[in-house]
Structure 1
């Protein structure tokens, strides 16, 4: 048994897709999957299916959808996943490893642990898999409030994984990979300062200080226009770093001291007078030792 909620909704037993019914019935199954092994009340299901104005038959319809799903899962002759009826609602009993979203969340947590331990090289392949596998939750379904919030949480998790992957690339001295990963991401997230700061860092490391300053200006304008707030202290620090890099101002006091005490010293005194050339007779006459 495998249940997919990333992208479209599907329940597969071997090579066979189990029938999940109408869109409303699929929403019942989706909420049960999202809250696997927890009780989902009938009222929760009604609110998800009809958030505005539930019909009088809402509770009866929910019970019909749940009964159909129980038969569909039972027809697979597989006891790995089953829906049980309990007082007040329903529960999907399942090993969560069979759900693609659960497996993705496990990999995300593992990647964070590796980054906290300073093991960026080991985190990269895990994060690449997470970013590549993440897809909109339950694509194609008109979700109610609970599943809409879940979809947004999945989207935020993918963004966080992408930014963590960028950080790993920067740790490993691969700023070009970070830039290519972030370009499209930040264009859709003009107010996400963490992503903008990471892009500025990557551009500075690639030697494109002008590009980093352009990112700063665009973000500052977006923050001012849409939120009425200034850039963060980190972004201001990166602006200073990009400005110094662009003007080739040394970053450390040691470099400053080297310039001050080294071969870059200038002598502003007038040059010494050069010897006369081709005026031997005149020099002899001017000499105090010239015979009268």
Structure 2
């Protein structure tokens, strides 16, 4: 199973999307994905779906959502009806009950060792933080840039959120801002005004409620630009005198000299 949560929620089993159209079932899947490979108690699912108090048949409604998710999983696995019902498969393949597991007191989404953009982000960001501690700013900028490129929009876009998902998303947002602060500091140490302007411009365009300090920095970086948008992100087929920019963009080759403000970092190596 492949999970992507750093933007629009997408869940694929055997290459087939299994995100349901029903809002409540999608919300339940999102919370299971947030705790992939770990049990999520039924009480937590109930609080997430009905924060103001569960209806009388809450347990049955959760079971209905689980059945719907398993139908989508079985369809993705290409199982016949008798196999989906729990009969042993000739090839020993997993069924939906192996993927979305019922346990005493809750459920677990078993990814079977699949991919997760969140885990990739955590590994890349961690490598970037370690490089910052060693003052290896080149490696830090590269690894933190890789981590930030995984974010395409706000986490869990397209999902209705209750208290547990909101708390989880808030932690992810803090992790993203910490990674961005450290990436900015690494680029500042390297004197890369082009990448700073491009990366921060992309960041501001992708996310709601961005910290004001980034808007100030972009303004400072662009204050004395010429008529050409030096350093701004351009289409892949844009000006020939361009180079690869951060987060999968391209940037123009010129940029005016400006003084780069320092950030108050949220964790990691402090600015000197």
Compute the TM-score of the two structures, normalised by the length of structure 1: 0.60
8 A contact 2:17–2:76 mirrored in 1: no
2:185 to 162, 167, 185: 167
The separation in 2 between residues aligned to 1:152 and 1:94, in whole angstroms, is 24
* Alignment of 1:126 onto 2:143: yes
Q: Which residue of 2 aligns with 1:42?
A: 42
- Which string of whole-angstrom CA distances, capped at 9 and with x for unpartnered residues, describes residues 94-131 of structure 1? 24652222222221112112222222112222222222
- Which string of whole-angstrom CA distances, capped at 9 and with x for unpartnered residues, describes residues 112-151 of structure 1? 1222222211222222222222131211221001111111
Q: Which residue of 1 aligns with 2:23?
A: 23
Unaligned ranges ≥5, structure 1: 217-230, 232-237, 239-292
After superposition, where does 1:46-125 map in structure 2 within 5 Å?
A: 46-77=46-77, 79=94, 82-95=99-112, 97-125=114-142
- Looking at secondary structure, tell me which structure has more helix per residue: 1
**Higher radius of gyration, 1 or 2:** 1
2:155 to 134, 137, 152: 137
The separation in 1 between residues aligned to 2:25 and 2:199, in whole angstroms, is 38
The separation in 2 between residues aligned to 1:207 and 1:16, in whole angstroms, is 49
Aligned length: 210
Deviation at 1:196, TM superposition (A): 9.0
8 A contact 1:127–1:161 mirrored in 2: yes
The separation in 2 between residues aligned to 1:161 and 1:97, in whole angstroms, is 24
Q: 1:7 to 1:25 in 2, by over 3 A?
A: same
172-181 vs 100-109, which deviates more?
172-181
Q: 1:162 to 1:72 in 2, by over 3 A?
A: same
Q: Which residue of 2 aligns with 1:279?
A: none
The separation in 1 between residues aligned to 2:119 and 2:25, in whole angstroms, is 22
Q: Which residue of 2 aligns with 1:156?
A: 174
Deviation at 1:21, TM superposition (A): 4.7
8 A contact 2:2–2:13 mirrored in 1: yes
Q: 1:58 to 1:113 in 2, by over 3 A?
A: same
Q: 1:163 to 1:19 in 2, by over 3 A?
A: closer
Q: Which residue of 1 aligns with 2:89?
A: none
Q: What's the RMSD between the two structures over aligned residues?
A: 3.6
Higher relative contact order (CA 8 A, sep 6+): 2
